[in-house]
Amino acid sequence: MNAYEIKQDNVLISTDKALLDRALVHSFLSGHSYWAQGITPDAVNHSIEHSLCFGMYQDDEQVGFCRVVTDFTTFAWLADVFVVEAKRGRGLSKKLMAAVLAHPDLQGLRRFVLGTRDAHGLYAQFGFKPLEYPERFMEICGTNSYKCGC
């Protein structure tokens, strides 16, 4: 699969995993997220290798990240979305979300889900809404070695 890229102003969003600053991704997820506290570098690398990842870069520095776990046909789960703290409040998360939803391989999915504790307003701008039938969904949580945010 070829890398997908969007350039706007001085921001590049790319699915090229070779560009990712994996140390930054691990540092943010393990130390600054509420959903992956203590995640190991190996777990982050494994999740990157098995997901469609979007890196966001400004002035040759990675400033954001997210990944999509998907079969590219029926289902996708948006995960690990972040913009580094020093770059927040500048519309970068909106650019990242727009790029994800414009990706040609993510069109026509039957279901695209995510979990968030505090960014409902952002995702609602892109059409996400609470589960219509939450009683149909179940989960297994807390079986890993790091805090999963459940």
For each of the domains in the chain, give its residue range(s) and CATH number, in order of start: 5-136 (3.40.630.30)
Q: Which residues neighbour 56 within 8 Å (Cβ) at sequence distance 6 or greater? A: 11, 12, 13, 62, 63, 64, 65, 83, 92, 95, 96
Using 50, 70 and 90 to split pLDDT, how confident is the model at 150? low
pLDDT tens string 37-82:
999 999 999 999 999 999 999 998 999 999 999 999 999 999 999 9
The pLDDT of residue 46 is 97
The whole-model pTM stands at: 0.93
Spatial separation of the C-alpha atoms in residues 146 and 37, rounded to whole Å: 6
Using 50, 70 and 90 to split pLDDT, how confident is the model at 2? confident
Contact by Cβ (8 Å): 44, 2: no
User: Mean of the pLDDT values across residues 144-150?
Assistant: 60
Spatial separation of the C-alpha atoms in residues 88 and 96, rounded to whole Å: 12
Q: What angle do CA 10, 31, 78 make, to 5 degrees?
A: 60
Contact by Cβ (8 Å): 100, 106: yes
pLDDT tens string 5-25:
999 989 999 999 999 999 999
Contact by Cβ (8 Å): 64, 97: no
Using 50, 70 and 90 to split pLDDT, how confident is the model at 139? confident
- Cα–Cα distance list, 18 to 41, 84, 110 (Å): 16, 19, 30
- In the chain, what percentage of residues exceed pLDDT 70? 93
Using 50, 70 and 90 to split pLDDT, how confident is the model at 146? low
Contact by Cβ (8 Å): 62, 23: no
